Amino acid sequence: LPAGLSQWFPALEVLDVSGTGLAELGAELLALPRLHTLLAKNNRLGGPGSLPKGLEQASLGRSLRVLNLSGNRFPEVPPALLGLRGLQSLSLGGNRLHGIPPDIQELRSLEFLYLGGNFITSIPPELANLPSLSYLVLCDNKIQSIPPQLAQLHSLRSLSLHNNLLTYLPREILNLVHLEELSLRGNPLVVRFVRDLTYNPPSLQELAGRTIKTRNVAYAPSDLPENLVRYLSLASNCPNPKCGGVYFDSCVRQIKFVDFCGKYRLPLMHYLCSPECSSPCSSASQSSTSQSESDSEDEASVAARRMQKVLLG
């Protein structure tokens, strides 16, 4: 950085030095008391001395709110950054990080954390101690599991975990009631999920059986071979009350979240007769369900469809 920067621009609030080939950020930054946004993307930062000494003690350490160091060469989250207690947005995507330090919990004001495109293998439970965190991006890493403590991030609205090595999610993740976006594509759990939801077209025998059942075609047991009579007796009614169809072997499997008394939200497999039959299952077919439970199920079905769209997106 040019010498005398603070003398030329003493009231500087936003500084963008992205893509300039910088290997270090000089001490001149420490004399910018009003700087709240520093963008230093796509440089050569990451070696010893990349950040000015005494950063967290300087006035800059108190004024800085947005820091973007994505596209550099940091092998770890610089310890100096963990002292920036007023930081609200931190981006370190596309570096060489292999982990997240537990002391990340010291950034109590953090609302946005971008760590995508690194080599991170695990998430420390301490990450759940960030009360204001709303956007967490951990995509394109090597993460194999999610700590259940992440459910304590009550402010979390968006969680990006696509292109990792996840094989399961902890059931506690359902407690993230304010979560609006969850990206999981490119993980083994979604690959398996999509494979399990593969729809096999019905056979000619099933198509004939569906026609007989839906059109109430009359037949006597003596009219058909015994195996066909037994087959027709195995028809299952589609749970969608607006459909009225049936299925035998070929059906569409969906995930449906059922909310019991507003306390337990459980993912259940939901079977429909065809891909075109996508209306939510109504409680009209469940006489034992109360009206309040019915409303909860309708909302849960909407959430399930939105979740499935995210999973398959």
Contact, 95 vs 77, CB < 8 A? no
Site of tokens 């009550």 = 154
pLDDT at 209 over 60: yes
> Which residues, at least 6 apart from 202, have a Cβ–Cβ distance to it below 8 Å?
210, 247, 248, 249, 250
pLDDT at 65 over 60: yes
Which domains, ranges and CATH numbers included, belong to the chain? 4-195 (3.80.10.10), 202-236 (no CATH)
**Residue 67 pLDDT:** 96
pLDDT band at 313; cut points 50, 70, 90: very low
pLDDT band at 5; cut points 50, 70, 90: low
Residue closest to 153 by CA, chosen among 182, 139, 133, 169: 133
Q: How crowded is residue 312: how many other Cβ atoms within 10 Å of its Cβ? A: 12
The DSSP 8-state label assigned to residue 89 in this structure reads E
**Residue 165 pLDDT:** 93
Q: Sign (positive/negative) of CA torsion 120, 122, 123, 124?
A: negative
Site of tokens 């507003």 = 262
pLDDT band at 302; cut points 50, 70, 90: very low
**DSSP states of 268-298:** EEEEESSTT--SPPPGGG-TT--HHHHHHHH
Helix (H/G/I), strand (E/B), else coil: 247 = strand
What φ, ψ does residue 7 adopt, rounded to 5°? Answer: -75, -35
pLDDT tens for each residue of 142-174: 999 999 999 999 999 999 999 999 988 888 887
**Residue 195 pLDDT:** 58
Mean pLDDT of all residues belonging to the chain: 81
Residue 36 CA, distance from chain mean position? 29
Average pLDDT over residues 242-254: 82
- Is pTM beyond 0.75? Reply is no
Q: Calculate Rg over the CA atoms of the chain.
A: 28
pLDDT tens for each residue of 117-134: 999 999 999 999 999 999
- Paired tokens of 141: 């890493």
**DSSP states of 22-60:** -S---GGGGG-TT--EEE--SS---STTSS-TTTTTSHH
